[in-house]
Structure 1
């Protein structure tokens, strides 16, 4: 009888934890983040070197420190692995062409980093609750909304309402940042990148962390490679 009572207590404790967790909407693959942060977006990124130290170096190479330190922006942050994969694929292309590879992020021209990073940045603060619904399988009904990125490119933002217990749109909600390949057909071929952690709120805006699995920095690997090579690769140490 005592063993059965202990099992009931343990089950109740687990369910209580799950209920508390479900009330939060800022999840990340590796844990739960505090929604408020007493510091700038750049300071937050620097405080998480395991996830963002390469991203911080890319921001510095782009000359965009002040954007993330002083301006009011919303940033959909790609994690280190996205930067790593982009440079790895670039090096594979350079190596195949018999060219010197990249060993430092600063070898890639600042304008390339700025153009790519600016696709993830939007002026003003946008929380999950501020963004309209998107259904990637029913874009005519729920298409999200077009927003102009910091670099002037139109991107699509939407909140995906997941299903629960077989009922549509009643499950957890997840932000999606979408790249529009063809502006003449803005609902065709969207490259969708889900957010893993949403609504982190530093002092100068909002930070959403992208799910890093399967995301290519710049949304298409060839765009980054072509841009970097066209701009010219600098020498290491310069």
Structure 2
């Protein structure tokens, strides 16, 4: 609960600090579209060090330089000021926990990679691509679903008489627009040799509201929020299904996670999932689980294409064995 309060405070403070957190010149405080450049997205950003030296640094740490040099992508790019505010928020939280300040290097490369991929969209999309009435849902390179609207701004009191702006929204785990977190693009349509670059406004907080949580808690490839659908089959011949149950998969190490067993979190049934190199999964009880009979009951695997755990496991209850079939799918919005 404390973390949630701090996260909310951090996001708000980041927005208030957005214009003063970094003293770098803000070259891109404009909504004008830019011209075509004969260079890759990565190389273009590398040449604009006054705004993107920190961004390039974390791109390199995340192993995404080649993606921005050679893949066809649309990059809705944060500027260094956006990253500085996120780091301030992280260190505000760490100081509240009596921890030393974090640095760019102390944040795990996996965290930088996961969050940077939220700004990279598959394909080449100019501002005109988002001019539909309700905007456009887009898939990021790590298969997250975000939303882009093309909106006409107001000027001098006249509604929709100003510049055309792009509004980039993280769905924040909700299908309701009122819950989304958004930022505007200041510069759109920099046409590079491998795609399109759009540049976010200075008040954006890198990672939207996810950065502090991601950078504070151990992460791996699988740790995230999921939706689970499954059924418990009882010895009596009855069963109990559940649908789209929110589950949090937490990292233990690079290939191991803990998550609620079946729909029994209130009973403290926690399963530990260990993913082998061939994506088969071993189910065991987590050390903190109230039931230590949780085990595989058939083939279990992690499906990379679906970003889902497909599980068949069992446990022993007071009246015999219970069998569980369950699919735990990444919540991609």
Structure 1 residues 101 and 124, CA gap change in structure 2 (3 angstroms)? same
Deviations 1:172-218 (A, max 9, x none): 211111111133x34232212111000001111000000112x1111
CA distance in structure 2 between the aligned counterparts of 1:161 and 1:30, rounded to whole angstroms:
15
Q: Tell whether 2:144 aligns with 1:153.
A: yes
1:143 maps to what in 2? 134
CA distance in structure 1 between the aligned counterparts of 2:162 and 2:212, rounded to whole angstroms:
38
Alignment of 1:1-238 (within 5 A): 28-29=28-29, 34-103=34-103, 105-133=104-132, 142-163=133-154, 168-183=159-174, 185-213=175-203, 215-220=204-209, 223-231=210-218
What is the CA-CA distance between 1:88 and the residue it aligns to? 1.7
TM-score by length of 2: 0.54
Bigger radius of gyration: 2
What is the CA-CA distance between 1:226 and the residue it aligns to? 1.4
Structure 1 residues 35 and 90, CA gap change in structure 2 (3 angstroms)? same
- The answer to whether the 8 A contact 2:59-2:65 is kept is yes
- The answer to whether the 8 A contact 1:144-1:158 is kept is yes
TM-score by length of 1: 0.74
What is the CA-CA distance between 1:166 and the residue it aligns to? 6.2
Give the strand-richer structure, 1 or 2: 2
- The answer to whether the 8 A contact 2:123-2:195 is kept is yes
Unpaired runs of 5+ residues, structure 2, are 1-26, 220-333
Unpaired runs of 5+ residues, structure 1, are 1-26, 134-141, 233-238
> Once superposed, what is the RMSD of the aligned Cα atoms?
2.2
CA distance in structure 2 between the aligned counterparts of 1:30 and 1:204, rounded to whole angstroms:
23
- The answer to whether the 8 A contact 2:34-2:190 is kept is yes
CA distance in structure 2 between the aligned counterparts of 1:70 and 1:34, rounded to whole angstroms:
21
Structure 1 residues 89 and 164, CA gap change in structure 2 (3 angstroms)? closer
SS in 1 for 2:217: helix
Query: Mean Cα displacement is larger for which, 40-49 or 158-167?
Result: 158-167
CA distance in structure 2 between the aligned counterparts of 1:29 and 1:190, rounded to whole angstroms:
24
CA distance in structure 2 between the aligned counterparts of 1:164 and 1:88, rounded to whole angstroms:
33
- The answer to whether the 8 A contact 1:147-1:155 is kept is yes
What is the CA-CA distance between 1:150 and the residue it aligns to? 1.3
Question: How many pairs were matched up?
Answer: 193
Structure 1 residues 33 and 171, CA gap change in structure 2 (3 angstroms)? closer
CA distance in structure 2 between the aligned counterparts of 1:208 and 1:158, rounded to whole angstroms:
13
CA distance in structure 1 between the aligned counterparts of 2:156 and 2:30, rounded to whole angstroms:
26
Higher relative contact order (CA 8 A, sep 6+): 1
What is the CA-CA distance between 1:132 and the residue it aligns to? 2.6
SS in 1 for 2:149: strand
Give the helix-richer structure, 1 or 2: 1
What is the CA-CA distance between 1:162 and the residue it aligns to? 2.5
